[in-house]
Structure formats: structure tokens, C-alpha cells
Amino acid sequence: MSSRLDALPPGPFARLADLLGGTAPGKEPISLALGDPSGAVPDFVKAAMDQNIASFGNYPAITGTADWRQAAADWLNRRFALGEAIDPEKHVLPLNGTREGLFLSLPPLLPEEKGGGRPIVAMPNPFYQVYAAGSLVAGAEPLYVAATEASGFLPDYAGLPEATLKRIAAVYICSPSNPEGAVANDAYWRRLFALAEAHDFVVLADECYADIYFGEPPLGALTARLNQSGGLARLLSFHSLSKRSGMPGLRSGIVAGHADLIARLRAFRNVGGPQVPGPILAASAAAWRDEAHVEAGRALYARKMALAQEILGNRMTRPQGGFFVWLKVGNGEDFARRLWREQGVRVLPGAYMGRETEPGTIQSNPGFPYVRIALVSDLVTIRAALERVAETLGTA
Ligand SMILES: Cc1ncc(COP(=O)(O)O)c(C=O)c1O
């Protein structure tokens, strides 16, 4: 058996099941733990799927269809104000959701060694768990870089020691971030890309929440990179219909970036990656072309976030994007247990998305003081659950 993955703890939801397993819920249970968007599937998506159902009879190309590539490139160019910088034939590939893309991008990109040692892949801490799994499978050493209130809830990669930076072969960055909802601004992106140039690493920008925001649309990595350098060197940016369209069951995303990186991924995926089925590509192309359903979804998330603010008051910091509340409670595990026991409400201890920086000391996990609350249920359910959260917080 491979020992590569021994460093991975059980997943956050397995840990949550263990934490609450022996405790009876104090009231009718409501879960705000899982970020499952549960959106309605628009009729035009169903129609596109139906019209292309015959393509289940053929193997799909790893590059998708010309129609999908055009729809993906048009959306990226439009959403991120890129002019025509994204060429459908050079800069995009379809994914079965961003998760597999984030997982499978490192093996074809990472060198065997970097800066005199095993390559390092840096990632924010806390983070979406696939970043660590992808790094370990690719033979790299994951480096967990704290994203705390003091660092604007984004990792300060520029603050890493020189000896570490020279071994970094890739970094993951999430904006808007899960779990904190922080957005990287132009200065942050510029600093990151300058660091990537100086230390020769690739930036994997997970932007699957890019279309869920509460003020200005988040600046994308592609925009920042293009404005900074006139090109997309060292950048791969990941997008998804799971959040944008509320259709995680469709399993459909985009990876976009520099033509050389995309060519490398294409060659690797052609022998070892999963193709996206024809009817899914057709449904996805239709979804990328439509903004009305996205605006409706965004407006609903804004109402949910306003409701959370109304109930939790200044105990809560409003995120810039995404659909999570990252609530500071002192000890996330204790709070989650108490909330379940007293109120029957399930939330995720922040530590389960992070890593301890001092082994054996859960307090050294930057997620330790927090719980993550997903605002994906309907407004009535969210109100009922958050009123119970407020009671346990003592703010009701
Ligand atoms: C930060 C982040 N990245 C990626 C994903 C994966 O999304 P997809 O459904 O596109 O695979 C998720 C899903 O929860 C996520 O929260």
C-alpha cells in the first residue's frame, strides 16, 4: 500500500460525524454544515441536455466540443473583462467539476525536485481538502500557510522564508475563499505573481465562488495577471457551475490559463484524465451563456447573508463572496458540540478544514476559533437555524 496519503486526516465531514455521533440533538435537527447549493435546474439546461442526448453514443474529446470551448472562453472574456485574451482553442479545458481539476493538475506540472529538495506546494490554512490530497499524490510536500484575521484571511506567501520559497513549485489560492469568503485584490494578485516569477512556481487559482458576491464582482486572477504582464504566464484559474449555477450534480467546470500549461494538462488528461460527456458539455455551454439564473442565485444568497447579519449582528463578519459565514466562537469544536446538543443545529468546526501548525495542539490550527456555517438551505430553514445559533451564542 502507498504511504503517500498517510498524512491526510479523515475528511471534515467524517470528523464531524465522529464528534457528534454519540450525542442526541437537542431539537429537530437542521444541518448548516455542508455547502451543497441545491439549486433548481433551469429549463434551458434540461433542453440542451435532451437535444444532445445522442452524444452518449460517442467518446467525448478531452478538449470538449467547439461549442463548449466557445461558451467557456466567451464567459471568461466577458466576466473578467479580458477582451479576447482567452482563445477557445488554446486557453481552456473542460473539467468534471473543479475538484478533479485541482487534484489532477499537479502531476503533469511538478518537477521531481525544486531548490535542492522535494517540491513544496503551498496552500492556505484552512483550505478545501483536495489541495492537500493533490499535492501528496503528486509527490510534493504540502505547506499549510495560515490565513488569519491578521492576514486578511488570505495566506501571506510573500512572508515565507527564502529557503522555503525556492522549493515552492506551485501554490493554491482560493478567492473568494472557502471557508472565510475573503477576496484577493489587485495588490494581492500582483504580489503573488511577482513571487511566482521570482521563485519559478505555478499559481492554481480556485475561483469557483467568483460569481457569488455581495458588492463589487471579485477581481479574477486572469484579469490581474493580464493587466500586470500582458499574458497569463504561470497561471491556471478554475471555475465551476457548481456554485455559479447551483448545479454541483452536473459536475462541470473550466480550467483556464497560459497556453503552455493548458497544453501540458491536455496531454496528461488525454491519457489519464476524465472526459466530460457530450450532453453535459451542451448543458454547460448553455449555462455559461446565461446570466439571468446566476443573477437570481446571487440575489438569493444576498438575502440569506443579510438575514444572517440581522440575526447574528456584529458577532458575524460579512464575507465578500461565497455562501459561508465564518463565525468566531472561541473553540469551534466545543461550540459545534454544544450547538448540536442544545439546539440540534449542525455546523462544521473550522479546525476540520485546517491543519495544526504545532502537532498535537489543536489551538495552533488557524480554524480552531471558528465554525463554518453554510447558507444554502431555504430562507425559512436558515432563519430557524440561525435563531438557535444566536441563542447558543448568547446574542438572541
Ligand atoms: C473551494 C472549493 N473549491 C472547489 C470545490 C469543488 O467544486 P466542484 O463542484 O466544482 O468540483 C469546492 C466545493 O465545495 C470548494 O468549496
pLDDT at site 396: 57
| Rounded CA separation 47/37 (Å) | 21
Residue where a domain terminates, one of 290, 323, 343: 290
How many domains does the chain contain in total?
Answer: 2
* Ligand 1 nearest atom to the CA of residue 322, by list position: 16
Q: Which of 208, 238, 251, 375 for a ligand 1 pocket mutation test, highest count of atoms within 8 Å of Cβ?
A: 208
Ligand 1 pocket at CB < 6 A: 35, 97-99, 128, 174, 178, 206, 208, 240, 242, 248, 253
Q: What is the pLDDT confidence band of residue 1, given thresholds at 50, 70 and 90?
A: confident
* Domain shared by 58 and 94, yes or no: yes
* Domain shared by 271 and 249, yes or no: yes
Instruction: Supply the range of the domain harboring residue 27.
Output: 4-39+293-393
* Domain shared by 27 and 107, yes or no: no
User: What's the CATH number where 217 sits?
Assistant: 3.40.640.10
Q: Tens of pLDDT along 271-323? A: 999 999 999 999 999 999 999 999 999 999 999 999 999 999 999 999 999 99
* Domain shared by 26 and 50, yes or no: no
* Domain shared by 330 and 358, yes or no: yes
User: What's the CATH number where 327 sits?
Assistant: 3.90.1150.10
| Rounded CA separation 379/323 (Å) | 13
CA of 208 to the centre of ligand 1 (A): 6
Q: Tens of pLDDT along 346-379? A: 999 999 999 998 888 989 999 999 999 999 999 9
* Domain shared by 23 and 67, yes or no: no
CA of 27 to the centre of ligand 1 (A): 31
pLDDT at site 395: 67
Q: Which of 131, 173, 243 for a ligand 1 pocket mutation test, highest count of atoms within 8 Å of Cβ?
A: 243
User: What share of the chain in percent tops pLDDT 70?
Assistant: 99
* Domain shared by 261 and 384, yes or no: no
* Domain shared by 263 and 369, yes or no: no
Residue where a domain terminates, one of 226, 255, 290: 290
| Average pLDDT across the chain, whole number | 96
CA of 99 to the centre of ligand 1 (A): 6
CA of 98 to the centre of ligand 1 (A): 6
* Domain shared by 143 and 188, yes or no: yes
The cell numbers describing 330, all together, are 472561541
Q: Are 253 and 97 in contact (CB under 8 A)?
A: yes
Distance set, CA 368 to CA 273, 306, 347, 364, 372 (Å): 36, 25, 13, 7, 11
